[in-house]
Homo-oligomer: A and B are copies of this chain.
Amino acid sequence: MAVYTQVSAEALADFLTAYDVGDLVAAKGIAEGVSNSNYLVETTRGRFILTLYEARTRAEDLPWFVALMRHLADAGLPVARPVAARDGGALRRLCGRDACLIEFLPGVSLSTPTEAQAAAVAAAMAVMHRAGEGFAPPRANELGQAAWRGMAEAMGPRLETISPGLRARVMAEVTALEAAWPHALPGGVIHADLFPDNVLMLGGRVTGLIDFYFACNDLRAYDLAVMETAWAFDAADRFLPGHAAALRAGYGGLNDAELAAMPVLARGACLRFLLSRAQDWLDTPASALVTRKDPLSYLRRLEHYAS
Residues of A within 8 A of B (CB): 1-3, 8-13, 24-32, 40, 42, 106-112, 200, 202, 285, 287-290
Contacts and interface: CB of A to CB of B under 8 A. Distances in A.
B287 A10 contact: no
This chain: how many copies in the complex?
Answer: 2
Nearest to A24: B108
Given A1-B3, A9-B111, 12 more contacts: A2-B2, A8-B112, A9-B108, A12-B108, A26-B107, A26-B200, A27-B108, A29-B30, A29-B32, A40-B40, A287-B288, A288-B288
Given A28-B40, A29-B30, A31-B30, A9 B110 contact: yes
A110 B10 CA distance: 7
A202 B27 CA distance: 11
A17 B32 CA distance: 25
B31 A3 contact: yes
B28 A107 contact: no
A7 to B, nearest CB: 9
B289 A112 contact: no
A183 to B, nearest CB: 38
A28 B32 contact: yes
A111 B32 contact: no
Contacts of A111: 8-11
A8 B40 CA distance: 19
Nearest to A31: B29
Nearest to A108: B9
Nearest to A289: B289
Contact of A109 (B9, B42, B108, B287): B9
Most buried by B among A2, A31, A200: A31
Most buried by B among A10, A12, A26, A287: A26
A216 to B, nearest CB: 27
A106 B285 CA distance: 37
Contacts of A285: 287
B202 A25 contact: yes
A173 to B, nearest CB: 30
